[in-house]
């Protein structure tokens, strides 16, 4: 125990100033990293944006890791005994106090390595669907379609299924649901829906457009699968497309399903 306290007592004033300098330096570098990538996010064209954004958490991790090692070297002035003592003390304390926290950090490290998702991706975790705004060591910050910010601990990736809608690219498939009265010519309706989706200027034309039909007890369910030009505006895209499809169908006298949602099976 005496040896452990000695580690800290041996620090000179110069060491303490250096330590303070390093910690301030780490914060400044983290801030620069954040500001720089926010700038890149705003200014870079959509295509390159995704490429650069995945670097942000890696750089943050490198800054923190190098800073921590440097601080430890100054504090412990490493000798074999110092390192073993410090590690033992740290592992016992952290093991008890920050079990979940550390799990999250480890999960964060693994996610950085596996790259299952990155900033700018649209993912669904635990029923929450949104765009990843930031990947931190312990948490993922997401923004949902109704502009709600959601913080999810990285720990969740251990045992949760993650749906990634665009996987690092700007191609994000949207599904627009339309329910019609079953009594109609479905060939004609499918053709109209295809045509309207192509005509919609918000649609990415070089990606496929698929229409899936599902007959339900008292309605016909059409699922239009298409890609918006801008994944961040998928909500607006689906709204626009739904309005256009409804206009086109109504003009041709096709009726919509009036079965209340609670009776509608999907």
Partner 1 sequence: MNEKVEDDKDVPNLCRVIPLEDYEIPQGPREVKEKIGGLFRNLFKSTKEENFLSYNKLNSFSLRQLDNILPEPDWEEMVQYFQKELNKIDYKKLLLINKPFSGTDQIVEKWVETANYKLLTPPTYEEILNYHKRKDNVFELGEEENIAITNLEKWFLRHHNGLGLLENIVQNLSKHSNEVIIVCQSWAWKFFKILNIPFTNFEQRILQTMNESALKHWLLNLMAQNNRKKFLYRLTDSGDLIFEEQLSLVEMGEEKGDKIKTKIEKENNMEQLIVQDEDDELKLKTKEGVEEEIQLKVEDKFMRNLIAYAQGLPMICWHILRDNLRTRPDEDFEFDKEEEVKLERKRFYTIWVKPWKGITMPEIPKNMNSEENILLDSLILHNGLSKEKLALILNIESKKVVSIINYLETHGLIRRKEEDVLNIVPSAYPNVRDYLRSVGFLIDNLEVSK
20: CB partners within 8 A, 6+ apart: none
Which CB, 197 or 257, lies closer to partner 1? 197
Nearest distance from residue 136's CB to partner 1, in Å? 26
Which CB, 179 or 227, lies closer to partner 1? 227
Nearest distance from residue 12's CB to partner 1, in Å? 46
Nearest distance from residue 198's CB to partner 1, in Å? 6
Which CB, 43 or 262, lies closer to partner 1? 43
Number of Cβ atoms within 10 Å of the Cβ of 88: 11
C-alpha 33/C-alpha 108 separation (Å) is 18
Nearest distance from residue 124's CB to partner 1, in Å? 23
Q: What b/e sequence results for 228-248 when a residue is b if at least 16 CB atoms lie within 10 Å of its CB, and e otherwise? A: beebbebeebbebbeebbeeb
Nearest distance from residue 129's CB to partner 1, in Å? 20
**Where along the sequence are the contacts to partner 1 (CB under 8 A)?**
42-43, 45-47, 170, 192, 195-196, 198-199, 201-202, 204-206, 229-230, 233, 236, 240, 243-244, 247-248, 251
Which CB, 221 or 244, lies closer to partner 1? 244
How would you class 95 by CB atoms within 10 Å of its CB: exposed for 0-12, middle for 13-18, buried for 19 or more?
A: exposed
Which CB, 152 or 249, lies closer to partner 1? 249
Helix%, strand%, coil% for the chain, nearest 5: 55, 20, 25
């Amino acid at each position: 125990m005496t040896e452990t306290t000695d580690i800290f007592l041996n620090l000179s004033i110069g060491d303490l100033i250096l330590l303070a300098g390093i910690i301030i330096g780490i914060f400044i570098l983290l801030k620069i990293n954040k500001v720089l990538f926010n700038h890149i996010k705003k200014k870079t064209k959509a295509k390159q944006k995704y490429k650069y954004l995945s670097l942000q958490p890696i750089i943050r991790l490198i800054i923190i890791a190098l800073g921590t090692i440097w601080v430890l070297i100054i504090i412990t002035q490493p000798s074999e005994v110092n390192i073993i003592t410090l590690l033992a003390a740290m592992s016992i304390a952290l093991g008890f106090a920050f079990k979940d926290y550390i799990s999250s950090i480890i999960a964060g490290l693994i996610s950085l390595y596996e790259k299952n998702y990155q900033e700018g991706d649209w993912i669904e975790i635990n029923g929450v669907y949104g765009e990843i705004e930031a990947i931190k060591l312990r948490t993922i910050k997401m923004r949902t379609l109704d502009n709600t910010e959601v913080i999810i601990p990285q720990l969740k990736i251990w045992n949760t299924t993650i749906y990634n809608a665009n996987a690092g690219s700007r191609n994000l498939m949207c599904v627009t649901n339309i329910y019609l009265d079953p009594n109609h010519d479905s060939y004609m309706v499918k053709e109209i829906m295809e045509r309207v989706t192509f005509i919609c200027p918000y649609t990415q034309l070089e990606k496929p457009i698929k229409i899936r039909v599902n007959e339900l007890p008292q309605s016909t369910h059409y699922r239009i699968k298409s890609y918006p030009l801008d994944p961040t505006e998928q909500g607006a895209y689906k709204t626009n497309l739904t309005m256009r499809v409804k206009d086109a169908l109504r003009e041709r006298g096709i009726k919509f399903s009036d079965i209340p949602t609670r009776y509608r099976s999907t």
